[in-house]
Amino acid sequence: MNLCPRFRFPLCPTYRPSLVAIFLVASRSYNKNIAAPQSATTPTLSLSYRGFLMALSASQIEQQRKEAEELLFSGPQKLGFAKGLFLGLFNAPLLFPYPRLKPEEVATTQAALEQVRQFCETSIDAAGIDRDARIPDSVIQGLGRLGVLGMTAPTEFGGRNFSQLAYTKVMEIIGGHCASTAVFVNAHHSIGIRALLLFGTKEQQAKWLPPLVDGSKLAAFALTEEQAGSDAGNVQTTATPTEDGKGFLLNGSKRWITNGGIADVLTVMARTPGLAGGANKKKEITAFLVTPDMPGFKVVNARMPKNSIRGTATGQLAFENMFVPKENVLWQVGKGLRIALTVLDFGRTTFGASCTGVAKACVAAASKHVKQRVQFEQPLAEFELVKQKIAWMAAHTFAMEATTAQCASFIDRGFEDFMLETAMLKVWSTDALWRIVNDTMQLLGGKSFFLDQPYERWMRDARLNLVGEGANDVLRAFIAMYGIKPVADQLLKVYNAAFNPLKEFGTLLNFGGSQIAARLRVPDVPVRSNRLRPMARELATRVRDFSLAVQAQVIKHKEGILFRQYVQERIADAACELYAASCTLSRLDSLLSGTANGNAAEIERDAQIGLYFLKLANRRVKQCLVALQDNDDADTTQTADAVLSRY
Ligand SMILES: Cc1cc2nc3c(=O)[nH]c(=O)nc-3n(C[C@H](O)[C@H](O)[C@H](O)COP(=O)(O)OP(=O)(O)OC[C@H]3O[C@@H](n4cnc5c(N)ncnc54)[C@H](O)[C@@H]3O)c2cc1C
């Protein structure tokens, strides 16, 4: 069983060794029923969807399937909340009651939030950082002094031992103030030292963590290369064992690494072919702790000029016969991709927090502006199309905060399965923020284009979120297929039973019963507030409709669903809406059932905002499910092919 050595939860994928591999694992059961390959280069899959396969051979598919199984499904697979949605379940105890800071951490967290807020206001000049394309040393040192650079690290290493929930609140403030600083902190803390915190041995942690935790040294996480972007498993940097057995020689390059050229310790992913005896010997990847003083380490470009989060140092690196001692291997040889995927799960939670910070800033700025600016003899705030934008922005900001808090709480509670939820948070919140900054610019009109205002910077900075830490399109496909897996497994059991009806009569009977029940019953969505009952009932109905729709799509497309990204997108979008709505309902229930402190008028305003989000999400889920039947997919493909053939 492959468990994270420190926290004992399964290793969480977010990218994949190959997306196809995840799809294949998700539906591996179906493949058993498909004709054997005709040759090594002939796809093993049925004629019905052979057309989608294009370049993949039977052996490539099988290889990717093995890799994905080894990577994604070898740990214990307890049903997480989001996966349950695909099965028509609403696992309320995972989301209710809404997560709050533990009483013993409230005072420390409040004090830290106040310190960070003040530091941002007095010492972080976001516009200056953007203009100079550099975060001043004084900012980095200040963040170190405040403990931000090692906030969740245990106190034995000098950290502040903050919960993930408390840390996301800190990141919300930093993200709302300066995106460059937030990405810098994320690269150092959420992904940079995270690998050491989760996977380092006691000796490695004692040696490396203290200066990283206090911020006197900086960390980076180096996975991306020219051939390994979304296809993270395609790392080409090699690590060859030295003959004396003392270590490895690394050769290759990395690009677009945040802090890459300024970090003192980097977690670097490299191939160690055939050393761990995994499913694909060629593609075994190992994580190494690397320092820039190692001979052969080259900073090709420490600060690649770029259009957004310009203050971060995004580096290009090269390794030429760089010796790395074997003591610097993290966890085990061959486990690098698992480390990478787990670490990115943590990064995505703080991504959600940073997005929430920016979204709050947008709502406040746009609201103030539309109340003051008069056109056609009225404040802009009086126009319906303005109100529509303000309401949308506020509703999604409220839901974003709730969704981030739930993901952080999964980590704090040591849950085993939250990979789907962090992927959903990343996709959903970054897409929502993109629209929020776009609407903010629209409401600010011409004013938003000028560099004396922050709005165009907010927009530039928000664009990175849709690509960094996993491109949203790729994550959508992952969300759909990873969520579909348990549904496919369940259907396969029934499929197999149908061939042996006498022996498997019980399975068939149970399935028949559950199918009838699924159509008649909706899951229980328990809320304490009477006011929320109608929306809870709506949500429950959408969960039921969604799971039935997923099942119907799996039955309709069978293994072909692996290649149906139009279908996957709708399933993923509906799933994200359901998850965000569930988190929002939990937050609202806490607000309206009297467990949250606060001023009654503020609570009422939040209730209005949250309920409005539930309505929007409910409608969008319906639209996604309708579009599964009524769409222009064939025309889309034909049109794209027509365009592509022109170039
Ligand atoms: C400013 C910045 C900082 C970064 N910091 C780091 C860092 O610190 N460490 C690190 O390791 N990396 C870092 N990265 C790299 C980042 O993680 C990658 O850019 C990201 O993973 C996407 O890879 P790519 O850019 O090569 O896009 P590609 O893989 O080329 O994808 C481009 C687009 O193609 C489409 N696409 C790709 N695959 C599929 C598919 N299967 N299905 C449908 N559509 C698809 C999507 O629209 C996608 O957006 C950083 C990048 C940037 C821009």
Q: What is the pLDDT of residues 68-90, one digit of tens each?
A: 555 555 554 578 999 999 999 99
Average pLDDT over residues 552-580: 95
Residue with the larger pLDDT of the pair 8 and 448: 448
Query: How wide is the angle at C-alpha 16 spanned by C-alphas 299 and 412, nearest 5°?
Result: 90
CB 304 less than 6 A from any atom of ligand 1:
no
Give the model's pLDDT for residue 14.
35
Residue to mutate, 52, 230, 337, 339, ligand 1, most ligand atoms under 8 Å from C-beta: 230
Mutate to test the pocket of ligand 1, among 351, 427, 467 (most ligand atoms within 8 A of CB): 467
**Burial environment of residue 603 by CB neighbours within 10 A (0 to 12, 13 to 18, 19 or more):** middle
CATH 1.20.140.10 boundaries in the chain: 474-644
Structure-token pair, residue 365: 């700025």
Does the beta carbon of 15 sit less than 6 angstroms from any atom of ligand 1? Answer: no
pLDDT tier at 488, thresholds 50, 70, 90: confident
Q: Which pLDDT belongs to residue 305? A: 97
Measured by CA distance, the residue closest to atom 9 of ligand 1 is 257
For the cut 80, the answer to whether the pLDDT of residue 516 exceeds it is no
- Give 315's DSSP letter: E
- Coil, helix or strand for 289? strand
pLDDT at site 303: 97
Q: Give span(s): CATH 2.40.110.10, the chain.
A: 219-338
Distance 279 CA to ligand 1 centre (A): 25
The Cα–Cα gap between 381 and 366 comes to 10
Q: Output the CA 230–ligand 1 centroid distance in Å.
A: 5
Window from 74-88, 221-235, 314-328, 496-510 with minimum mean pLDDT: 496-510
Ligand 1 centroid, distance to 465 Cα (angstroms)? 10
- Residue 638 tokens read as 């034909």
Bridge-partner residues for 251, per DSSP? 238
Query: How far apart, in whole angstroms, are the C-alpha atoms of residue 71 and residue 22?
Result: 9
> So what's the pLDDT on residue 518?
64
257 Cβ inside 6 Å of ligand 1: yes
**Cβ 609 under 6 angstroms from ligand 1:** no
Q: Give me the percent of the chain exceeding a pLDDT of 90.
A: 75
pLDDT grade for 520, boundaries at 50, 70 and 90: low
The CB of 53 under 6 Å from ligand 1? The reply is no
CATH class of the structural domain 474-644: mainly alpha
Output the CA 397–ligand 1 centroid distance in Å: 25
Residue 474 near ligand 1, beta carbon < 6 Å: yes
Buried b (16+ CB within 10 A) or exposed e, 405-437: bbbbbbbbeebbbbbbbbbbbbbbbbbbbbebb
Confidence (pLDDT) at 136: 98
Ligand 1 in reach of 228 Cβ (< 6 A): no
Question: 139-143, 484-488, 545-549: which range is least confident on average?
Answer: 484-488
Q: How many helices (H) does the chain have, and how many strands (E)?
A: 21, 9
pLDDT digits (tens, 9 = 90+) for 459-470: 999 999 999 989
DSSP letter string, 231-280: -GGG---EEEE-TTSSEEEEEEEEEEEETTTT-SEEEEEEE-TTSS--S-
Per residue in 160-171, pLDDT (tens digit) is 999 999 999 999
Burial 464-487 (b: 16+ CB within 10 A, else e): bbbebbbebbbbbbbbbbbbbbbb
pLDDT band at residue 346 under the 50/70/90 scheme: confident
With cut-offs at 50, 70 and 90, classify the pLDDT of residue 63.
low
Q: Please choose, from the candidates 164, 216, 169, 172, the residue with its C-alpha nearest in 3D space to the C-alpha of residue 190.
A: 164
Given this model, what pLDDT does residue 489 score?
84
- What does the alpha-carbon distance between residue 379 and residue 397 come to, in Å, rounded to a whole number? 24
Over residues 358-378, the mean pLDDT reads: 98
> Which listed residue (172, 225, 469, 577) is catalytic?
469
pLDDT tops 90 at residue 40: no
What is the distance in A from the centroid of ligand 1 to the CA of 232? 9
Local confidence band at 4 (pLDDT 50, 70, 90 cut-offs): very low
Measured in Å, residue 138 CA sits from the centre of ligand 1 at: 31
Q: Ligand 1 center to residue 69 CA distance, Å?
A: 23
**Catalytic residue list contains 469:** yes
Q: Quick one: fold of 219-338?
A: Butyryl-CoA Dehydrogenase, subunit A; domain 2 (2.40.110)
CA distance 625 to 376: 41
pLDDT at 92 over 50: yes
Find out whether 192 and 218 touch, Cβ atoms under 8 Å: yes
Q: Residue 220 — very low, low, confident or very high, per pLDDT cuts 50/70/90?
A: very high
Nearest residue by C-alpha to atom 6 in ligand 1: 257
| CA 329 distance to own-chain centroid | 26
Give the ligand 1 atom nearest the CA of 222. 11
- 154 CB within 6 A, ligand 1: no
Q: Tell me the average pLDDT of the chain.
A: 88
**The Cα angle at residue 516 between residues 510 and 500, in degrees rounded to 5:** 35
